[in-house]
Structure 1
Amino acid sequence: MAAKFLGEQTKVVTGSHDRTVKIWDLRSRSCIETKFAGSICNDLVVSDGAGTTIISGHFDKKIRFWDTRSECTINEIQTEGRVTSLDLSRDPKTLLCCIRDDTLRIIDLRQNQIISTFRAEGFKVCCDWTKAVFNAECDYVAVGSGDGGIYVWHLLTGKLQPVLRRHTGPVLAVSWHPYANYLASVDRTKTVVVWANL
C-alpha cells in the first residue's frame, strides 16, 4: 500500500494490506525486519533524516509511531475514522492525515496531538487510499473528493479556497509540483488534470 526510503538509498520501509510494516535492504533484496501493526497499513512516512522514526496510518483508525531500533510502537494516536493517507511537512514538524470521517487532520509532531481539523460541505473521502498533500511551502493542503472536486484549504486561516471542478468521477489522489504552483489530480476513470497558477 505504501513505500518510502528509510534515511538512505539502500533501505526502504513498506506498509501492507497484510497488517505489517517491513524494512527492506535493497542490496540483498530481502526483508530485514517486520513490525506487526495489527491493522492494514494504508500509508506511511519517515519523519527524520536518519530514518529512525516511521509513522503509519491504519484501517483501525490509528496512527502509529515506530522507532526502527525497537519492535513495538512508541506512540499511537486514535482518530475518528480509517486513516487513508499521511503527508509530512518539509520541516518535518507537522503531519497531514486524511481520515474516512471526511476530514483532514493536522498533527503537531512535537506535541503528538491533533491541532487542526479541515472539513467542508460536499467534501467526501471516497476510498481507503485517498491521498491528501501539503504544497511545497506547506501553507496549503489539497485533497480530492468523492464529488469530483479538489478541496484546498489555507493552513493558517483554515479558509477553504474555491473548489476546483473538472473531474466527472471521484478523485483519488492529488500532487503538488515541488517547485511551482501546479497541482495534478487523478480520478477513478484514469483522467489526470493539471491545475496551473493556483
Structure 2
Amino acid sequence: MKMPRILPLIAIAVGGIVAVRAVGLAPRPVPGRPGLGPGRRGRRRGRGPADHCLGPAVCALSEEQLAEQAGISPAELRIIQSLSARRDQLDARDTDFATMLPLMAAAELKLDERIAELNAIKAELEGMLGQADEREEAEVNRLVQVYQAMRPREAAAVFNTLADSVRLPVAQAMRPRALAAIRPRCRPPRPAS
C-alpha cells in the first residue's frame, strides 16, 4: 500500500487556505474614491495588504502574508516550498526511472539471449576443434604405422620430403627403434638461400 506524500498535501492545504482568505480579503468598491468605483478597475494607492491586487477578486499575497495566514513563519514556508519543489523533482525522476526500467529489462534480456547464442557458438567451435585434433591425431598415428612398416631406406626418402609440422609429430609418436633405423639415412635440411 502506497502512503500519500505529506508535503504535497500540506502545500495544497496551505494554497487552499490562502485562496479562501484572498477571496475574503478582496477589496470592495468604495464610494467616493475615484480609482475603485463600481464598474472600474484600478489599483489602490498606498501601502496595505492589497497592494499587489490585480482586480477586485484576484490578489497576490507576499510570502510573509501567506506564512502569517497559514500560521507558520516565513522561513518554514520557504522550507515547505523548497521541499515541495524537491518532491516534484524526485517524482519526475521516479517517472523517468519507471520508463527506463522496462527498457533496461528488455536490453538485459537481449544481452542474455546474445550471450546464450555466443556460448552455443563457442561450444560448437570447441567441438569442431576437438574433432580436428582427433582427426590430426588419427592421421599422425596412421602415418606412424605406415613409416614403421616401411623399410628404413624408403621411409627415410619419404621422411625427407615431409614438412616439419608433419615430420615432428610423426617422429615423436614412432617407436624409438624404428625412428633410429630411419634417422641415419635422413639428410639434414638444406639451408635456404
Q: TM-score, normalised by structure 1?
A: 0.15
TM-score by length of 2: 0.15
Query: Which structure has the higher relative contact order (CA within 8 Å, separation 6+)?
Result: 2
Higher strand share: 1
- From the CA coordinates, give the structure whose radius of gyration is larger: 2
